[in-house]
């Protein structure tokens, strides 16, 4: 490990010294000119002009008057419920913080086949397949030993 540390120090020192050698040196006159340009007063926006501008952070929405609003604009579709499979153990599935086995009811669905990494929910609207996230697989294997 000592060799790598010394090598890093040598490379860092070489890069630093190279940058010093190849850096452009400025004359005193050029430096004074740059400083004087920085000191010059800059012309900005006047207060009266600033007061007349719109706030860029406020979003105004155009709304229809209540007489023109139609009933279909006020109806919101219900959000579809999200089911999250977190674990599978002995043909039981841990979905939305509760354990379910084949045949159990989950809202409008019946728990169908439970595999080692997925679950099929059967419903009148169709089937849903829930899978374990690849990075979050929670498999528990039990050693039964020799009998």
Sorted by where each begins, the domain ranges of the chain are 85-136
E strands, 9-138, are 85-89, 92-95, 98-101, 105-106, 109-114, 118-123, 126-131
Q: What is the mean pLDDT of residues 98-113?
A: 90
Residue 103: which region, alpha, beta or left (left: phi > 0; alpha: psi -120 to 50)?
A: left
| 93 within 8 A of 100, measured Cβ to Cβ | yes
pLDDT of residue 15: 85
The mean per-residue pLDDT over the stretch 69-88 comes to: 71
pTM, rounded to two decimals: 0.40
Task: Quote the tokens at residue 49.
Answer: 């002009």
| Chain segment 52-76, per-residue pLDDT in tens | 777 766 665 666 555 655 555 555 6
Which residues pair with residue 95 across a beta bridge?
A: 85, 98
Q: What digits encode the pLDDT tens for the residues 19-51?
A: 766 666 777 888 888 888 888 777 777 777 777
Q: What is the rounded distance in angstroms from the CA atom of residue 97 to the CA atom of residue 133?
A: 15
Q: Which pLDDT band holds residue 126 (cuts at 50, 70, 90)?
A: confident
CATH number of 85-136: 2.30.30
């Amino acid at each position: 490990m000592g060799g790598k540390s010394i090598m890093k120090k040598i490379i860092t020192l070489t890069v630093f010294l190279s940058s010093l050698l190849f850096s452009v040196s400025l004359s005193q006159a050029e430096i004074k000119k740059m400083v004087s340009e920085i000191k010059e007063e800059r012309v900005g926006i006047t207060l009266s002009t600033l007061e007349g501008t719109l706030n860029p952070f406020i979003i105004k929405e155009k709304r229809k008057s209540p007489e023109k609003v139609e009933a279909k604009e006020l109806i919101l579709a219900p959000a579809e419920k999200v089911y999250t499979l977190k674990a599978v153990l002995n043909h039981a599935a841990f979905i939305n913080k509760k354990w379910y086995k084949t045949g159990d009811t989950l809202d409008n669905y019946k728990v169908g086949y439970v595999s080692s990494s997925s679950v099929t929910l059967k419903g009148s609207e169709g089937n849903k397949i829930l899978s374990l996230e690849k990075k979050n697989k929670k498999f528990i294997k039990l050693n039964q030993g020799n009998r």
